[in-house]
Copies of this chain bind each other. A is one copy, B any other.
């Protein structure tokens, strides 16, 4: 069934990163203006080639590092896109990843240098090739992740309110979670520690700040949010 290795043709293989961030109560995506033909000047995800001495995951991390200056970031494989006609420039197989980054912490100069820009996920520009589909699938995958784990750890600042966490979830799932039930569910996980500080910018009463417990940062086995 398998041909010997040396008789088999080789392919170009790339990665594309769907980079999520959260800012001003909006889930955002980092896109950049393509600097290469075909489709030069159009908006696209941030991608790169996979070299022979690295895994696709390493390639995705390398590309993310190059554009944001960040390493040790949570990334997850989304799916392989491999329609032979997907890239008009030639046959390229692309492995898509998504990454969750803290929009405050990334290197703005690098992002500017590469003509990259943050876009709200619900107001994206037209993207090249099959990149819109990639975003769609990545978002589905992020939702599954968020329903089993508290993704706020990656997207929110160190200290945050339950309301902020809820608004993050609202923007990921594009629905409004009940404030009372959300709070109850999240706190029942024993994953947060309440601080003695309050955020008074949003309400007169003020909302307590919380941090994630560093102890059990692995994730939960049970579903935490019902979609």
CA distance A2 to B5 in the complex (A): 28
Given contacts A11-B10, A11-B13, A36-B4, contact A84 B55 (CB under 8 A): yes
Chain A contributes a number of interface residues (CB within 8 A of B) equal to 48
Q: When the two chains form their complex, are residues A56 and B93 in contact, meaning their CB atoms are under 8 A apart?
A: yes
Neighbouring B residues of A49 by C-beta, 8 Å: 2-3, 8
Neighbouring B residues of A35 by C-beta, 8 Å: 1-2
CA distance A54 to B9 in the complex (A): 12
Q: When the two chains form their complex, are residues A1 and B77 in contact, meaning their CB atoms are under 8 A apart?
A: no
Q: When the two chains form their complex, are residues A11 and B52 in contact, meaning their CB atoms are under 8 A apart?
A: yes
A100 contacts chain B at the CB level, 8 A cutoff: no
Neighbouring B residues of A50 by C-beta, 8 Å: 11, 82, 93
A92 contacts chain B at the CB level, 8 A cutoff: yes
Q: When the two chains form their complex, are residues A79 and B77 in contact, meaning their CB atoms are under 8 A apart?
A: yes
Closest chain B residue, CB of each to CB of A227 = B221
Q: Binding site of A, secondary structure by majority: helix, strand, loop or mixed?
A: loop
Partner of A56 from B10, B48, B82 at Cβ < 8 Å: B82
Q: When the two chains form their complex, are residues B1 and A63 in contact, meaning their CB atoms are under 8 A apart?
A: yes
A108 contacts chain B at the CB level, 8 A cutoff: no
A197 contacts chain B at the CB level, 8 A cutoff: no
CA distance A152 to B181 in the complex (A): 34
A218 contacts chain B at the CB level, 8 A cutoff: no
Partner of A223 from B1, B54, B223 at Cβ < 8 Å: B223
Partner of A5 from B3, B46, B90 at Cβ < 8 Å: B90
| Residues 44-69 (chain A) with a chain B CB within 8 angstroms | 46-57, 63, 66-67
A91 contacts chain B at the CB level, 8 A cutoff: yes
A114 contacts chain B at the CB level, 8 A cutoff: yes
